Amino acid sequence: AVGPLSAQLNLPKSAIKHCVTLATEQAEHISVCAESTQLPFAEASLDAILLACELEFTKDPHQVLREVSHSLIADGKLIYVGLNPFAWHQVQRLWPAQVNHLPWSGRFFTRSRVLDWLALLNFEVIETHYFAPSFLQQRWQWPERLAARVHQRLPQLASCYFIVARKREYPLTLIPERSKRKRVQPNLQTVPLANQTQCKE
């Protein structure tokens, strides 16, 4: 799990026994302190990586995805959770008091943009969905109910989306050399006697 939010998520049904949590600051639930743009893992050493709202709060999201691709094994999985820039809660960015507060202080990327980045890194998308229709305000009761109803027809307005992608590697197929090459024989044809020119003495 990469990022402070990813490290706080519990994965009781995960089949991976050895889990590592990474963040920039030391905490009780953090096992490795490092930047997400410089993951301290060997190449092709991780089976899966969870990224929860990490690209929104980093200076170089492309580098984060490159580090993820470098650390994953072949057919390793990336689980990414992103904040939707077209969600209901974006209206709160219109208030100056909310601009410098989380999560509205981050840069939100559309799902299609993240999918394009993953395609460039040779990831195959397995599943993707929008979820959590909300204004991210517990005290707003009737707007929260409205968002839940509209989500059935317009899921693109949900607060978050997730992407499950698999790292694909296409090995080069070597063509074996032929032990015996076919000899190329000239296609000689006999010329009829009627077409042969005779030298006159």
Q: Are 72 and 44 in contact (CB under 8 A)?
A: yes
Q: What is the pTM of this model?
A: 0.75
Q: For residue 167, what are the β-bridge partners?
A: 123
Compute the distance between CA of residue 118 and CA of residue 69 in angstroms, rounded to an integer: 9
Between residues 7 and 174, the one the model is more confident about: 7
pLDDT at 201 over 50: no
| Spatial distance between the Cα atoms of 109 and 159, rounded to a whole number of angstroms | 12
Q: Tens digit of pLDDT for each residue in 90-101? A: 776 666 666 666
Q: In this predicted model, what pLDDT tens digit does every residue of 61-83 receive, in sequence order?
A: 999 999 999 999 999 999 999 99
Taking 3-state DSSP, the helix, strand and coil percentages for the chain, each rounded to the nearest 5, stand at: 25, 20, 55
